[in-house]
């Protein structure tokens, strides 16, 4: 049951060094397409923004799919869950990180490399396919979500998706003034989303109200789990599928 007055805690930024040390016990779940799920609204944001090599669907691990359905069912009548991004190709991760780091450098000309990395990492993880320390979206366990009404009108969540600034922090509107009706409405929408996603087993990245994790190292860090379930993955190519089928067909029964 949703508690409309449950505040979003102002969690500290993850300790990224500790996150990267959490072991990955890859469970082998496949990626699934969300495009045909009637309970979800799917809008692959980076494809619509024209980011090179962005996929035209939102792909997630099978268990993440099931938990998104649970989160959608937890929302009040009249609201729907919009999925903006899931699994992300390494080329897209590289593009996002490089673009934001360049913008940060222009905005903070005196910042050293470590400071630029810290400022950039609040909103985009460094690209990594390392099996023991992958970027969250490369695992298929990280998702970006928002809310819309039943007609598909997006709700005002207080900042744009991927906005780099204090308004994007999940708990930003928890300090809204009692007489600021617009800010209080945004606070309550964020609470609705946060509550639905956490009830479904996800963990939230504190610097991004839209970013949630299940099964990856960030999820394990937030939830105190001994290991992550998902390492880096990718959709199988047609060649991979043919090889698998032929291997199964001609496997030695002995």
Selected catalytic residue, list 29, 63, 101, 208? 208
Domain annotation covers residue 11: no
Is the residue at 217 inside a domain? Answer: yes
Domain membership of residue 5 (yes or no) is no
Residue 15: which region, alpha, beta or left (left: phi > 0; alpha: psi -120 to 50)?
beta
Any known ligand binding at 2?
Answer: no
pLDDT at 9: 94
- The predicted structure's pLDDT at residue 1: 43
What is the CATH classification number for the domain harbouring 208? Answer: 3.30.1380.10
For 138, phi then psi, to 5°, come to: -75, -10
Residue 204, in any domain of the structure: yes
211 annotated to bind ligand:
yes
According to the annotation, is 74 in a ligand binding site?
A: no
Measured in Å, how far apart are the chain's first and last C-alpha atoms? 53
Tell me whether residue 53 is one of the annotated catalytic residues: no
Read out DSSP for 13-28? PP-HHHHHHS-B----
User: In this structure, are residues 81 and 68 in contact, taking their beta carbons and an 8 Å threshold?
Assistant: yes
Query: Is 204 in contact with 197 (CB distance < 8 Å)?
Result: yes
Residue 52 lies in a domain: yes
Q: CA 196, CA 224: separation in Å to the nearest integer? A: 20
Q: Is residue 242 included in any domain, yes or no?
A: yes
Q: Does 19 map to a domain?
A: no
What's the average pLDDT block by block, 10 residues per block, for the chain (254 residues)? 74 93 97 96 97 96 98 97 98 94 88 86 91 97 97 97 94 96 97 98 97 98 97 88 81 71
CB-based contacts of 141, cutoff 8 Å, min separation 6: 60, 61, 64, 213, 214, 215, 216, 219, 228, 229, 230
| Contact call for residues 75 and 188 (beta carbons, < 8 A) | no
pLDDT at residue 110 in the model = 83
Domain extent, residue 201, equals: 29-249
Report the 10 Å Cβ neighbour count for 80: 17
Number of domains in the chain: 1
Is residue 21 situated within a structural domain? no
């Amino acid at each position: 049951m949703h508690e409309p007055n449950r505040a979003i805690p102002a969690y500290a930024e993850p300790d990224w060094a500790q996150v990267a040390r959490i072991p990955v016990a890859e469970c082998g779940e496949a990626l699934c397409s969300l495009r045909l799920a009637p309970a979800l609204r799917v809008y692959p944001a980076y494809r619509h923004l024209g980011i090179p090599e962005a996929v035209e669907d939102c792909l997630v691990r099978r268990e993440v799919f099931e938990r998104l359905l649970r989160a959608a069912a937890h929302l009040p009548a009249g609201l729907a869950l919009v999925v903006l991004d899931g699994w992300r190709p390494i080329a897209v991760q590289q593009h996002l990180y490089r673009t934001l780091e360049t913008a940060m450098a222009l905005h903070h000309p005196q910042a050293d490399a470590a400071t630029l990395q810290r400022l950039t990492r609040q909103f985009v993880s460094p690209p990594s396919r390392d099996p023991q320390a992958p970027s969250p979206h490369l695992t298929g366990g990280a998702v970006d979500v928002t809310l819309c009404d039943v007609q598909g009108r997006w709700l005002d969540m207080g900042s744009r998706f991927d906005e780099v600034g204090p308004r994007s922090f999940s708990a930003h509107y928890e300090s809204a003034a009692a007489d600021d009706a617009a800010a209080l409405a945004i606070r309550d929408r964020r609470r609705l989303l946060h509550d639905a996603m956490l009830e479904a087993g996800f963990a939230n990245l504190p610097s991004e109200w839209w970013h949630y994790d299940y099964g990856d190292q960030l999820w394990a860090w937030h939830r105190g789990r001994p290991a992550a379930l998902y390492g880096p993955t990718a959709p199988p190519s047609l060649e991979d599928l043919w090889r698998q089928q032929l291997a199964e067909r001609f496997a030695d029964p002995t």
